[in-house]
Structure 1
């Protein structure tokens, strides 16, 4: 998200003038929390926390949703933004070109192609889909219901719908997803894994999952799920005119122009754990109904 430093954006910039709101952002960076948990961590009353959260929501920094709690519904808060760029030298006198964004959510089970090795498997919010460690079930049409997918090596491929018009040019492609290494059926100890992200056959980034993350109770993982691996980490991949970024950090010089995005042509995204990698620890993808974020694969194309 880019924000020009001017009076029009005062409500956004004001969010960072309060130590309490900064602390809330720090807490939510660790995990989603409800109002009561934030109140206890901050040692302030819940109504005051609510007012701070409302301000952060209006600025688009925090997102909240109502979920079932022990005593009725509770408001669960999580960070919505991965990064914010402040523009101090905005073009005041020149009219900004119009920007068009196309968003789509892709369930983790809606892959278009795959090549996986055991340990591997799929599960919906309610049950396992097929047998664990049998790649044949990845071809079963029921895979569309999957909300968690895992494999020890190989790849899984998604086709991102492209709604660009013929007179538009893509300026960025962004993908956010919850991911970790290893496989729930094989081990309770997560290993590091070199995970490759590719678009249209071009490797744009390699991210190494550090391991030792994913155990412990997750917010949305159903109770029937008895595996030790409960959640991953939220990663944000952005390819723009400057290069490829993961969580706002430049990781490669591969730009949006290299992907040759054209109107009416699907974008093929591949997520790989290659058997010849230095750290081949596999991939686990968590979608809605699993993990800590209750989110499918979120894809955004920005055009100018």
Structure 2
């Protein structure tokens, strides 16, 4: 999202003038929370938290929805905006660039090589048997809404809709992900590597320090301990490659060999020889805490 630095966008810009609102953004970046949980984490009263949330919602940074809780309905808050670029005078506006968006279900990988423990499940039940990599080749894998593996990789074919006179400016990929290990095992991190067109753009280490709370969208039939992950955004620009706004490598968009007549290959891997080999779990719609698939945005000049 591009934000012009001007008086017309003061509502957005003022969101970052408060340490409390910045802390709310940090907390919601880790997981969705209700007003009571935010109040306890911030050590301030709920009505004050509600006012801050309202301001963040008005700016499009946070979204919320009413969900059933133990004592009736509760307001659950999510971090809606993964990143924003401030545009000063003379900077190109987002609407001046072509934008191509595609959403890929986690089960629609084009190739894979996985080792147990591993498995796949749709929104309604398991696909094949657990810990048998052969089922990753089952035609039903395209219906998977959650997949996991102890080591190896899955690779997706991203359609490329550029025309031949366009030049790629940035590639953004967001997804919900964690290690393969159950989320209530606090000491098992995982080094997860992201690659585009055969070029490694960055490594993110899942910290392995989350409790075993049930995912918001995880279906009732699900019986395993892997309930939810973290929303991560990989962005490759002319300045380098970033994960959640933090630079992780010097690989730029020009180094990915993107061409209008070729698809884009996106690989997610965890090596058996990695320092932290905790595996990978990917959550799509109907699973986890974020009701989305792998979302890809390609912007061109």
Please state if 1:9 is matched with 2:6.
no
Within 5 Å, which residues of 2 pair with 1:158-177?
Answer: 158-177=156-175
- Post-superposition shift, 1:284? 0.9
Who is 2:241 aligned against? 244
> 1:213/1:27 Cα in 2 relative to 1: closer, same or farther (>3 Å)?
closer
Within 5 Å, which residues of 2 pair with 1:1-304?
Answer: 1-18=1-18, 21-35=21-35, 37-38=37-38, 42-45=44-47, 52-69=52-69, 74-87=74-87, 89-91=88-90, 98-183=96-181, 191-213=188-210, 215-304=212-301
Distance 2:38 2:191 in 1: 34
Distance 1:299 1:129 in 2: 26
> 1:214/1:271 Cα in 2 relative to 1: closer, same or farther (>3 Å)?
farther
Distance 2:139 2:71 in 1: 39
Aligned CA RMSD, in angstroms, stands at 2.8
Aligned residues between the structures = 299
Q: Which moved more, 1:160-169 or 1:54-63?
A: 54-63
- Post-superposition shift, 1:69? 5.0
TM-score computed with the length of structure 2 as normaliser? 0.87
Conserved 8 A contact 1:12-1:59 = yes
- Post-superposition shift, 1:125? 2.1
- Post-superposition shift, 1:296? 1.2
Q: Which moved more, 1:294-303 or 1:27-36?
A: 27-36
Q: Secondary structure at the match of 2:46?
A: coil
Q: Secondary structure at the match of 1:8?
A: helix
Structure 1 residue runs of 5 or longer lacking an equivalent are none
